[in-house]
Amino acid sequence: MNKQISSILKSVSKPGRYSGGEYGQIIKNKEQVKARFAFCFPDTYEIGMSNLGMRILYGVLNREEDVWCERVYDPWIDMQSKMKEHGLPLCACESGDPLTEFDMLGFTLQYEMSYTNVLNMLELAGIPLWQKDRDDSFPIIIGGGPCAYNPEPVADFFDLFNVGEGEEMLPELCRLYIRMKEEGRYTKEAYLHEAARTISGIYVPSLYRVSYHEDGTVESYAPIYDDIPTKITKRIMTDMDASYFPDQLVMPYIETVHDRVMLEVFRGCIRGCRFCQAGIIYRPVREKSPEVLNEQAKCLFEATGYDEISLTSLSISDYTHLEELTDLLLEWTDENMVSLSLPSLRVDSFTKELMDKIATVRSSSLTFAPEAGTQRLRDVINKNVREEDLLRAVNVAFEAGKNTVKLYFMSGLPTETYEDLAGIAELANHVIDAYYQCPTRNKAKKPQVTISVSCFIPKPFTPFQWEAQDSLDTLAEKQEFLGSKITDKKIRYTHHDAKVSRIEAVLARGDRRLAPALALACREGFKFDAWDECFDYDRWISVMERCGLDPAFYANRKFGLDEVLPWDIIDCGVSKEFLRREHDRAYAESTTPNCREKCSGCGANKLGGERTCCPKIKH
């Protein structure tokens, strides 16, 4: 590390974010490398280092002998200021090389509010923002992650998108790049065409023309070549036992958000919550066997020394072999003083037996997500849990000595009334009552119920994708109303900033016409918009207005059921007909059983054949 960098690190917060050299990082001989890939996480080091997908793909790419994948994170504001002051470009952690020296930059798009960070990182690297302004001397810019299911707001900044799971796609892209280079036929234009033509799950926005109606809605998408798909179908890994999982991790020098072993138990979700994008785009359910999971957990414990293992999935209690898995893990975790963490528990499958097995978890509180305050609205959103399920679950916790519970809800859901909002406060009161009615409660402590209420955001590929978000004034009124209904000091009420949710809705349902606004936001210094201290709603509105955009067109307009949606170019595996049926069932207040009870014909099972179908269901 040169003296200039060393001096700068002494003047910024958390210099361990930038020092590199961590235990477990992968270093390769540049002379033997034919493709250099920089995996870019558009947020701080401690958040990016906790991302399991990044850990998996880092390992997958580095298995290729002639490919070197390195890591890049968005520097915090103080470091960015120093970099600009000293004329330093954004560099990779492993080699310290500028991003302009790489062949490919892959951005994971986890959250719409990180879009300005992506552009900010390109600017710090000295790379033109617009795809059309970058010649063959610049790296290929790749996007992936959940936001790639509607990449249109940022489509003009990227060369291509990976739609779906990247364990096979990214190596295929690298192999194609190396092959075309070796054959002497590489140009970026030829490469993008060949990737779109030959690799499934690849979306190259520049190869599709978008036209619009006079009212501003999308008219059509048209490929400019006959040999590329008219729709891009997502990629999935069909055999999770055989899919790559790291046997070692890069160990951070500073505390990260998740300092623990993250064990991916399964992908997909059997539930059909109508607001939930993840529950749709990650279908179908694909489980790992308990034996494989146990060996992976042992391997990572021995490689890292972490004293906590978190079993991750969209709904861990839906894993069909949960009891068997926890028994296998407890055979060695207890004696090694390793605790098990089971996030994403559902109230209708939380049991005393499960509670006993995770008694070693440090946290004294449990979190559940009823999402709505009345049974009517829970039926509308297809939550498929009842108040008695919640009360039974909290009683299990209270009997085990817990005294704090956190409950997640949403405000602004379709068909919501003020009676539904009042039901949130009522439900919290019933949880407090349940504590005092529990004979084996911890009588030395008072109960504490925290209710956290987020604003509904209509997301692509959900049955509510057509719905309008409530206006800012309406959301504020609802937040104030609910606050007035909470009078017990043992209930703590928090809510999300409705202004952030409105901008998120604009970006979630946006089209390519948002790109100039994002570019202007970047020029005016927008960054870390997911952080409260950096977000400025009025500046966002000003940028959109100056670019001739109406935020209400994207966030607060009810989309037509027959309208061409900005994300219709993508096939997520679940049919639009299914989403429409679920939309209609919501307004009929009719629930749909989970996939294990009855197949609802969403279409996701066609992606990978029988082995990817939900267990216990024959399609």
The residue to which tokens 């991916």 are assigned: 264
Asked whether the predicted pLDDT for residue 522 surpasses 90, the reply is yes
Q: How high is the pLDDT of residue 400?
A: 82
CB atoms within 10 A of CB 3: 7
Q: How high is the pLDDT of residue 388?
A: 95
Q: How high is the pLDDT of residue 2?
A: 62
**How does residue 619 score in pLDDT terms, banded at 50, 70 and 90?**
very low
Asked whether the predicted pLDDT for residue 359 surpasses 70, the reply is no
- Per-residue pLDDT, averaged over 242-257, amounts to 93
Contacts (Cβ under 8 Å, ≥6 apart) of 18: 9, 12, 45, 75, 79
Name the region of 421 (left: φ>0; alpha: ψ -120 to 50; beta: rest). alpha
Class of domain 3-233: alpha beta
The span from the CA of 361 to the CA of 158, in Å, is: 42
Q: What is the mean pLDDT of the chain?
A: 94
Asked whether the predicted pLDDT for residue 575 surpasses 60, the reply is yes
Asked whether the predicted pLDDT for residue 132 surpasses 60, the reply is yes
The residue to which tokens 């859901």 are assigned: 413
Q: pLDDT digits over 25-36, tens only?
A: 999 999 999 999
Asked whether the predicted pLDDT for residue 613 surpasses 80, the reply is no
Q: How high is the pLDDT of residue 511?
A: 98
Q: How high is the pLDDT of residue 612?
A: 46
- Is residue 33 within 8 Å of 67, Cβ to Cβ? yes
Q: Could you give the percent of the chain with pLDDT greater than 90? A: 87
Q: Could you give the percent of the chain with pLDDT greater than 70? A: 96
β-strand 266-267 against 286-287: which pairing, if any? antiparallel
- Per-residue pLDDT, averaged over 461-468, amounts to 98
Residue 235 has what DSSP assignment?
Answer: B
Cβ burial 222-231 (10 Å sphere, 16+ → b, else e)? ebeeeebbee
Name the region of 20 (left: φ>0; alpha: ψ -120 to 50; beta: rest). left
- Per-residue pLDDT, averaged over 446-473, amounts to 97
- Per-residue pLDDT, averaged over 254-268, amounts to 93
**How does residue 361 score in pLDDT terms, banded at 50, 70 and 90?**
very low
- Per-residue pLDDT, averaged over 359-382, amounts to 82
**How does residue 367 score in pLDDT terms, banded at 50, 70 and 90?**
confident
Q: pLDDT digits over 432-442, tens only?
A: 999 999 998 88
β-strand 261-264 against 308-312: which pairing, if any? parallel
Backbone phi and psi for residue 164, each to the nearest 5 degrees, phi listed first = 105, -155
Q: How high is the pLDDT of residue 364?
A: 52
Q: pLDDT digits over 49-106, tens only?
A: 999 999 999 999 999 999 999 999 999 999 999 999 999 999 999 999 999 999 999 9
Indicate the SS3 state at residue 244: coil
- Per-residue pLDDT, averaged over 231-259, amounts to 94
Type of residue found at 216: G
Q: pLDDT digits over 327-349, tens only?
A: 999 999 989 999 888 877 788 88
- Is residue 273 within 8 Å of 382, Cβ to Cβ? yes
CA distances, 602 to each of 278, 316, 358, 575, 605 (Å): 14, 22, 34, 6, 8
Residue 500 has what DSSP assignment?
Answer: H
Asked whether the predicted pLDDT for residue 471 surpasses 60, the reply is yes
The span from the CA of 339 to the CA of 334, in Å, is: 7
Counting every residue, how long is the chain?
Answer: 619
- Per-residue pLDDT, averaged over 485-507, amounts to 97
Asked whether the predicted pLDDT for residue 350 surpasses 90, the reply is no
**How does residue 402 score in pLDDT terms, banded at 50, 70 and 90?**
confident
Asked whether the predicted pLDDT for residue 550 surpasses 70, the reply is yes
**pTM of the prediction?**
0.95
Kindly list the domain boundaries of the chain, sorted by start residue: 3-233
Per mean pLDDT, which range of 114-123, 178-187, 342-351 is the poorest?
342-351
Residue 425 burial (C-beta neighbours within 10 Å; 0-12, 13-18, 19+): buried
Contacts (Cβ under 8 Å, ≥6 apart) of 248: 24, 300, 303, 304
